[in-house]
Amino acid sequence: MLTQEEDMEIAALHGRGWSVSAIARHTGRDRKTIRAYLAGQAKLRGHAASVLEPYRSYLLARFVDDPHVLGMVLFRELGGLGFDRSYQTFTRELRALGLRPACECCRRGGVDVTIELDHPPGEELQFDWLELRETPWGQPAFVLIGALSHSGRCRGVFCEGQTGPHVIESLDGVLRRLGGTTRRWRTDRMAGVVHPGTDRLLPEFAACAKHYGVGVDVCPARRAKRKGVAEAAVKYLTRSWWCSAAVATPAQAQMSLDRFCVEVADERRRGARTIAKLAASERLLGLPSAPFPAEICVERGVSRSALVAFEGNHYSVPAALAGAPQVRVRARLGEQALQITSAAGTLIAKHRRAPSGTGQVVRCAEHTAGLEQAVLSAFTTRSPCRRKQNRPPGQAALQAAAILRGEQPPNDGGGGGVVIDLERYAQLAQVAR
């Protein structure tokens, strides 16, 4: 029997005028076989039955019991039933037969189909995180991405963490870059927004939403495709901007992102118009003059030069705290100053808050003078100690050793200790009676 490929080749050669003998020599087949195929008297070779056909009923029954059963488990079970082929052959034939059912509960998003949703202008703003574990400045960074659901215009703000105050600070930065806010915000169950494991808003974030006059929609758990605009913006910015951005500091990265969003992202076309023109039709709500007064509180160590790192800048503390393992930096949104306190809450220093990521070193004159004095006082002209001098134990050390060995009482040796005579104390007590 010939395969379908050989039958096709024989028919093509016969159509070109080749004789039966020439076709037989070309294909390596017998002339009677070639003649029978050309006359339509032979049958093509069909596909061989799968090696799993004898076990079909057993596999179907096992998938009814557990649609998630591992392939290796089934392979071991079939081995006890006489299956002698390799595991690779088993998995290949299992996929080819399509016996494993699709679990509706585990299917991502619930269905395989999707549809574009029509979002009214100015109605919804979606948020999501872009997490950058590796950065040119050596520290992980987090970018809060906000995308308008109607037009797709997106903006992003770098921040150091994902706590509630960090989220609120970044959110305010996104809103001011967009020029306003929508009537509702949509977010997933991100840290700093909802209580862990629930869809209930944290009190601080609920107060923040009330401050801006908006409502908040939290995506339900295990339900994908609920904030696709923000997820698409994260994917777009990651591939189109971050992977090729020439930046070295957080400040440079923020300026590069702002410029990219305006010059490149907003110029993408959506039908006959660009995203910038679509966004111009969204009537956003006005923003309060000041951001929500959340307080950022982070713990930091003090360097040997009496500096504390915060938001890409360094702030001075007294020289006596150089090398301290832990202090707290407090900064309230909307205020131009920050405080550095001890773990107990004692105020250590107060500085003006430098723009985030600019790499500034902020020192006050008092701290500078104290650090200079500490550095100068540490200098000495004395020669270092000689490590090879003979220094046997002295008299005091020998007396202490004798006491430890029990060779003399502890109060001997001129220690000046007070000795209380208990017999004299008893006599005085008897007289007093």
Q: Of the candidates 378, 395, 428, which is a domain's last residue?
A: 378
* CA 42 to the chain's CA centroid: 64
User: Could you tell me which of 14, 22, 17 has the C-alpha nearest to residue 39?
Assistant: 14
* Residue 110 maps to a domain: no
Residues 89, 205: one domain? no
Indicate left, alpha or beta for 168 from its phi (over 0: left) and psi (-120 to 50: alpha).
Answer: alpha
Predicted local confidence at residue 42, as pLDDT: 62
* Residue 421 maps to a domain: no
* Residue 29 maps to a domain: yes
Report yes or no: 187 and 209 within 8 Å, Cβ to Cβ.
no
Class of residue 182 by CB neighbours under 10 A (exposed 0-12, middle 13-18, buried 19+): buried
Q: Which helix (H) or strand (E) holds 172?
A: helix 164-178
* Residue 103 maps to a domain: no
Q: Report the distance separating Cα 276 and Cα 338, nearest Å.
A: 37
Both structure tokens of 141: 């960074």
Residues 198, 240: one domain? yes
Predicted local confidence at residue 180, as pLDDT: 94
Which residue is it, tokens 């999501």? Answer: 128
Residues 79, 157: one domain? no
Regions in the chain scoring below 70 on pLDDT: 1-2, 41-47, 104-116, 222-225, 411-421, 424-425, 428, 431-433
Q: Report the distance separating Cα 145 and Cα 128, nearest Å.
A: 5
Residues 221, 134: one domain? yes
Predicted local confidence at residue 114, as pLDDT: 63
User: Could you tell me which of 299, 325, 321 has the C-alpha nearest to residue 310?
Assistant: 299
Task: Give the domain extent around 63.
Answer: 53-97
> What would the pLDDT profile of 373-432 be if each residue is shown by its tens digit?
888 888 888 887 787 878 888 888 888 888 888 888 876 545 455 556 677 667 767 766
Pairing of strands 337-341, 307-310: unpaired
* Residue 288 maps to a domain: no
Q: Which helix (H) or strand (E) holds 234?
A: helix 228-240
User: Residue 250 maps to which CATH number?
Assistant: 3.30.420.10
Residues 274, 357: one domain? no
Residues 154, 232: one domain? yes
* Residue 326 maps to a domain: yes
* Residue 129 maps to a domain: yes
Predicted local confidence at residue 417, as pLDDT: 53
* Residue 173 maps to a domain: yes
Predicted local confidence at residue 433, as pLDDT: 61
Which residue is it, tokens 């990521």? Answer: 357
Q: SS3 for 287-343, per residue?
A: CCCCCCCCEEEEEECECCCCEEEECCEEEECCHHHCCCCCEEEEEECCCCEEEEECC
Q: Report the distance separating Cα 125 and Cα 150, nearest Å.
A: 9
Residues 14, 150: one domain? no
Predicted local confidence at residue 32, as pLDDT: 86
Residues 92, 143: one domain? no
Say what the pTM is: 0.63
* CA 245 to the chain's CA centroid: 20
Residues 275, 308: one domain? no
Residues 178, 245: one domain? yes
Residues 208, 257: one domain? yes
Q: Of the candidates 334, 358, 378, which is a domain's last residue?
A: 378
Residues 129, 265: one domain? yes
User: Could you tell me which of 321, 326, 318 has the C-alpha nearest to residue 300?
Assistant: 326
**Number of domain units in the chain:** 4
> What would the pLDDT profile of 105-131 be if each residue is shown by its tens digit?
666 544 556 666 778 888 999 999 999
Q: Report the distance separating Cα 151 and Cα 233, nearest Å.
A: 12
Q: Report the distance separating Cα 264 and Cα 315, nearest Å.
A: 36
User: CB 25: neighbour CB atoms within 10 A?
Assistant: 13
Burial annotation 316-327 (CB, 10 A radius, 16+ → b, else e): bbbbebbebeeb
